[in-house]
Amino acid sequence: MNQIRVEAPDWQVAEIQQVEQTSSDETNSVEEMEMETDEIKQVEQNREANPVKGNELTTKRGTKPPLNFRAILTDKKIPMDRFDKSSPDELCKQLYAGVFLEPNALKYYVDEKLNKNCFVVFAKKLSISWIDQYWGWIEEKDTSGEVIEVAKLKELGVCWLNIEGKIRTIDLSPGTEYEVVFVVKMNGYQKTWKNSVALTIILPSSKSLTRSENLSGKPVGIWIDVKVGEFRMTPENVGEITFKLGEYSPVWKKGLVLKCAIIRPKNDQALGC
């Protein structure tokens, strides 16, 4: 397995797997994930055998960002000189706040409690059916203060509601239970949502996970999470996942505002956009 050595601050000397967009690299990434998963299991075993020692290992691991954070940033040509590398704490603070990999479209952040990679796919990067005919764009600020655009249904509404997003799983944290949520706002018209929406995740193996949820009783005028589903980041799930929200009945649906989709660990309830 090819490896490159990346210059790092004196508090961190790490070997990072070379990330390429080829099928052979996906194979290498699967092997890397298996090794990191084994490392996590070893820490857990140490904690069970010796609680004090196990907690020390966990603490040390948590003071540094995920090992592949550099690969994620360099893949999107984000210069490292934007970050304070004087200490792991300062670097982590910036990663906890989030980094836009694509302006107004894709954000990467690290969960502060779990030290796991998370991603926010904003509405501009999502595929929305009939976007030009039945939707409009309005400006909002995300949690970092950056200006983003959210998609808002026009007064007429839409009959064929179909929202879809995709993300590479290679950048997610190995062995982690993830959830996918859409962040939306309901601006009234609750009666037009009498039919439940279908929420689907399609895994790299083509396995499809679908659930339904009724939006008619949701709070009005605030951002809410609509859970799509869950999956575990295993070697079998290296590839690309697709997540969808849809409702295709003849009823014209109104009052929906779409902000983003978040891919985050199950225990992370902090809004990432």
Q: pLDDT tens for residues 1-20?
A: 454 444 444 444 333 344 34
Q: Which tokens in the block code for residue 59?
A: 């603490």
Predicted confidence at residue 65, as pLDDT, reads: 87
- Answer with the residue of higher pLDDT: 57 or 167: 167
Radius of gyration of the chain measured on its C-alpha atoms: 20
Predicted confidence at residue 252, as pLDDT, reads: 97
Kindly state the average pLDDT of the residues 81-102: 88
Q: What is the mean pLDDT of the chain?
A: 82
User: Does residue 136 have a pLDDT over 90?
Assistant: yes
Nearest to 222 by CA among 269, 253, 186, 265: 186
Predicted confidence at residue 222, as pLDDT, reads: 97
Kindly state the average pLDDT of the residues 190-217: 96
- Answer with the residue of higher pLDDT: 17 or 188: 188
- Reported as a pLDDT band with limits 50, 70 and 90, residue 165 is very high
User: Does residue 250 have a pLDDT over 80?
Assistant: yes
- Reported as a pLDDT band with limits 50, 70 and 90, residue 31 is low
User: Does residue 39 have a pLDDT over 50?
Assistant: no
Predicted confidence at residue 22, as pLDDT, reads: 39
User: Does residue 86 have a pLDDT over 50?
Assistant: yes
- Reported as a pLDDT band with limits 50, 70 and 90, residue 46 is very low
CA distance 188 to 218: 10
Predicted confidence at residue 138, as pLDDT, reads: 97
- Reported as a pLDDT band with limits 50, 70 and 90, residue 270 is low
Predicted confidence at residue 11, as pLDDT, reads: 42
Element (H, E) at 90: helix 88-97
Kindly state the average pLDDT of the residues 247-253: 97
Supply φ then ψ for residue 37, to 5 degrees. Answer: -60, -40
The pLDDT > 90 percentage for the chain reads 65
Q: How many Cα atoms sit within 13 Å of 263 on the Cβ side?
A: 27
- Region of poorest pLDDT, from 43-57, 75-89, 118-132, 238-252: 43-57
Kindly state the average pLDDT of the residues 33-47: 47
User: Does residue 76 have a pLDDT over 60?
Assistant: yes
Q: Is 237 helix (H, G, I), strand (E, B) or coil?
A: helix
User: Does residue 52 have a pLDDT over 90?
Assistant: no
Q: Which tokens in the block code for residue 132?
A: 């030009």
Predicted confidence at residue 59, as pLDDT, reads: 37
Amino acid at 273: C
User: Does residue 81 have a pLDDT over 80?
Assistant: yes
Predicted confidence at residue 89, as pLDDT, reads: 86
Q: Are 81 and 73 in contact (CB under 8 A)?
A: no
